[in-house]
Amino acid sequence: MNDSRPVAPLSGQPISRKRFIDWLLGTTFGGLIVAVLYPVASYLVPPPAGESSVSSVTLGVKLADLKPNSGQIFKFGNEPGLLIRTSSGDVRAFSAVCTHLGCIVEYDTEHQNIWCPCHNGRYSLQGANISGPPPKPLTPYTVNVRGGEIVVSKEA
């Protein structure tokens, strides 16, 4: 039994039930393909992230507010930085991006060095990679104090 009676018109002309079901299945399948491919394509194509043009930042931190043997993350353009005050009072700053796979490093007050929690990588207080998988040292920044506030700059 072939039922090809016209059904409700969509564009002014009656269409057969078979054509309507074909159209419905075709658009549903097309929608499914788009719904699957769009997130996959969005995941695979990274968003544009231009290199930070910032060469210097003034932190809202006064030198007197930094306790010895402490560290804190700060924003250096679109990258994180790590500001450290050693137990002897020196102030140092580095890129906080681990040179292994890009995790954010932190200051380890117990061992008094820089630690990457992702794969237990360690850096010295000079930024040198001393244990674990990091292949290179952290990028150092220059630290100055202007008007009592800490200013961090990229090294030339």
Contact positions vs ligand FES (CB under 6 A): 98, 100-101, 103, 116, 118-119, 121, 132-134
Task: Write down the H helix ranges in the chain.
Answer: 17-44
Minimum gap (Å) between residue 45 Cβ and ligand FES: 23
CB of 86 to ligand FES, least distance (A): 21
Q: Given the complex with ligand FES, which of 108 and 149 has the nearer CB atom?
A: 108
Task: Note the residue count of the chain.
Answer: 156
The CB-of-95 to ligand FES minimum distance in angstroms stands at: 12
**Which residues have C-beta within 8 Å of that of residue 142, sequence separation ≥ 6?**
93, 152, 153, 154, 155
Nearer to ligand FES, 89 or 117 (CB): 117
Comparing CB distances to ligand FES, the nearer of 80 and 132 is: 132
Q: Which CB, 116 or 125, lies closer to ligand FES?
A: 116
> Residue 140: in which H helix or E strand, if any?
strand 140-146
Beta strands in 4-131 (DSSP E): 56-62, 70-76, 79-85, 91-95, 106-108, 113-116, 121-123, 129-131
